[in-house]
Amino acid sequence: MSRSMSLFLGFVSFPTHYQEVLKFTHTTFLRLGVASLLGSFAPATAYAQFPALQTLGNVQRAEPAGNTLRLTFANATGEVTAYSPSILRVRLSPKPLAQDFSYAVVAQPSVSALQVRDEANMLTITIDSVRLVIQKSPARFSFYTADGKLLNQDEPGLGTSWVGEEITTYKKLQPGERFLGLGEKTGPLDRRGQAYLNQNTDTYGYGTSADPLYSTIPFYMGLHDGLGYGIFFDNTFVSQFNFGASNDRFSSFGARGGEMNYYFIGRRKPAGIIQDYTYLTGRMPMPALWSLGYQQSRYTYYPDTEVKRIVQTFREKKIPLDVLYLDIHYMDAYKVFTWHPQRFPQPAKMLKDLKSMGVHTTVIVDPGVKTEKGYAPYEEALQKSLFVKYPDGTNYRGEVWPGWCNFPDFTLPAARQWWGEQFKGYVDAGLDGFWNDMNEMATWGNQLPSNILFNYEGRGATTNAARNVYGMQMARSTYEGTRKLMNGRRPLILTRAGYAGMQRYTAIWTGDNVSTDEHMLTGVRLVNSLGLSGMPNAGMDVGGFTATPPPTAELYTRWISLGTFTPFFRAHSAVDTKSAEPWSFGEANTETNRNYIQLRYNLLPYLYSAFYEATQNGMPVQRSLAIDYPTDSLVYSPDFQNQYQFGPGLLVAPVSSTLAAARVYLPAGRWYDFYNDQPAAGGKASYVPTPLDRLPVFVRGGSIIPMQSPVQYTAQAPLDTLYLHIYKGDKPTSFVYYEDDGTTYAHEKGQYVKRTITLDPAARALELGKMEGSFKSKFKNVEVVFHGFESLGPVQTAGKRQTTATRVFYLQKSASLTGENTRSTVITVRNATEAVRITW
């Protein structure tokens, strides 16, 4: 540290954890040449006007050390470390490698030693699924499958380089290579030819091609020649990704500071790549069952009498509802952790009344803490020095809803603990949902100074390194705090901003969208992309938030039908806009909206099981067709790129509200119309009718879709029969059914029920596997509903002939208006804990 800096620290009093930040910042500023602004105390040549480009140079030394190969280059140092049989980590830096740390990665390196072969001009590193060849002169990295097929390689003439503090790795574009993922990004499903910036930003009413948006997930998949790989660039600085934009030579990824630190995943198919990525960054916990029901929000519902009126109207109109949101007007002068004394004089009583009607309440929380004497959260955080700071030690102030605010440093463990403790009053009052907003961090003017200091777990960082993790760490603080306070119950946590790994703590929505068809379809692609990027619990504001002009009746109704098949199903609209509840657009549309929301509840056993799968292997609930059909070129067509699977068995084709018919592409295989069981051949596109009461939905042959009887909210008990819809396919298929109490963490101690259900068309058999877990299912019976089976022989269980019946189902009630239904053979069996085999 320079003498001037030592004197400076001597005159200004800082908490110990921020002195380290200042040391870090001072060193960084000197390295950047900022010290030259203080005077001409060094030769002018020491601070060039333009920083020179620097490359790795040649490999000079390679030292195996267990699971790691340590590398010394002419101009840099590096490491290659194995994390699993299919994951290698590459770290490169022009300086000695920093102490290892990540907000995203929770996996530990492999304990097995690397297999390294050192030859004259190359190093070869081999793990089970990947072979990495490092050319020594100049240093270049090429990744292959175990059998020698090229997956990914550095661009031969470019490799990895630095310009000042900015670091970039250039990869050679492969013929026909496609790129998927990168989280919350607009644009096409295939990112080829696009470029993106990761800088979490408050983008109110963003355009359908806007970039950047609110969150950062620097992970993507590359596909070519029937092969696949994944790259996760774990660097929290503002980063850039180029997938062949403005060039035909390379794709690239880089950041404005920090190390070149990426994980290479060598799995051939997207599903396996997602599984490995979420092995690295963690998987979501089981959500509360009630958080998967319908959620109604508005900016904003107040006073308490209006809140109760909205809920009562849902109940009177028989429209299912589980969650109601309160936006900023519930607070006293917009101050976080308060209630408005006139609008909500008795919050605990109101929340109890809502809970008696089966409705959970979620409130918005913003990070800005009003700088007001006597305001307890402000005074306490100030006294404990928990706010982010300028280099001179003063707390950063920005203006948001309450006025001028300080902002907690969520990269400081003490601040996270303090924030979590602030929810005690909310939880004691009866709240169990918490909506983290404005956490990019957003302020009026949208120009966050670059010299704000963050603790960054004691490592010290400025805005450029910390802004992309700020929202994630706020959501983490909220999750960890409320989980401790809620006496074993699961909270609903929602965030607008985040970083890779946020799935461990929160759901996400796509921010302040607009009430247009184009935005609705853009939202579908955003949620699809989030799913491709390890974030299964995602949604958009149904109906559009920025409702000027307001949504048409047709647009709102179409959006509700899409929301039915979206993981996180919430309608939301802005202040001073037309009412946008499901009954606000005329009786015919109310009926359609009611029926689709009801369908969501009927599908809850299927949906909850799909979420369970996400907790086990990271598979998204809303699945781009590229996951199961990565080599089918029509999946990437602009005409069909919005289509997705909802869980493993349903295919949803989003369409504009203005279309009475639309082309739908069904990939190869056997398919059925969800509403009438009409078979549809795969491998081709065809026109289907799309009236507002008929969103195109198809069922893949071989699918197993468990459903329940209608309920008005998730805590209401359905009938004691589980309806197991099975669809004839061409090969054996299976489905893992999962159930627990839906509200507590008892499932983590074995209190759940899980069984594998297998359908074998060749053997003409369905097997309900033996139940696992100690939870008692809510269903006493299972009614098997056969779809697509032209003729059934005698149906038997355990060698005994069973009585069958014929049932008519209206899977989407309004389909009955046109007479559409499914007429199916059914058989009812006991929901026994032991395996049950049914043959026909």
**Catalytic residue list:** 437, 440, 512
Cβ neighbors of 94 (< 8 A, separation 6 or more) are 54, 75, 76, 162
Sign of CA dihedral 347, 352, 356, 362: positive
Structure tokens at 43: 């030769």
What amino acid occupies position 183?
A: G
8 Å CB contact between 237 and 185 = no
Structure tokens at 836: 């049950």
Q: What string of DSSP letters covers 210-241?
A: --S-SEE--EEEEEETTEEEEEEE---S-EEE
Q: How many helices and strands, by DSSP H and E, does the chain display?
A: 14, 54
Beta bridge partners of 571: 296, 542
Strands 765-768 and 753-760: antiparallel
Q: How far apart are CA 580 and CA 545, in angstroms?
A: 10
**End-to-end CA gap in the chain:** 81
Query: How many CA within 13 A on the CB side of residue 571?
Result: 25
Would you state the torsion angle of the CA atoms of residues 382, 387, 390, 396, taken in this order, to the nearest 10 degrees? -90
Q: How far apart are CA 623 and CA 618, in angstroms?
A: 11
Structure tokens at 329: 């007007």
Cβ neighbors of 699 (< 8 A, separation 6 or more) are 649, 650, 651, 671, 672, 673, 674, 705, 727, 787
Describe the chain by its helix, strand, coil percentages, rounded to 5: 25, 30, 45
Q: How far apart are CA 838 and CA 798, in angstroms?
A: 7
Sign of CA dihedral 316, 319, 322, 326: negative
By C-alpha distance, which of 9, 523, 84, 25 is closest to 264? 84
Cβ neighbors of 95 (< 8 A, separation 6 or more) are 77
Query: How many CA within 13 A on the CB side of residue 579?
Result: 9
Q: Which long-range contacts (CB under 8 A, 24 or more apart) does 458-463 make?
A: 458/17, 458/20, 459/20, 459/24, 459/98, 459/99, 459/101, 460/20, 460/21, 460/22, 460/23, 460/24, 460/25, 461/21, 461/24, 461/411, 462/25, 462/28
8 Å CB contact between 462 and 179 = no
Structure tokens at 469: 């993790």
8 Å CB contact between 520 and 547 = no
8 Å CB contact between 70 and 63 = yes
8 Å CB contact between 653 and 662 = yes
CA distances from 575 to 61, 180, 299, 438, 552 (A): 63, 36, 5, 16, 17
By C-alpha distance, which of 827, 828, 807, 839 is closest to 677? 807
8 Å CB contact between 158 and 250 = yes
Query: How many CA within 13 A on the CB side of residue 738?
Result: 18
Q: How far apart are CA 534 and CA 636, in angstroms?
A: 20
8 Å CB contact between 481 and 420 = yes
- SS3 state of residue 247: coil
* Residue spans of alpha helices (H) in 393-516: 413-421, 424-429, 463-485
The helix or strand, by DSSP H or E, that contains position 681, with its residue range, turns out to be: strand 679-681
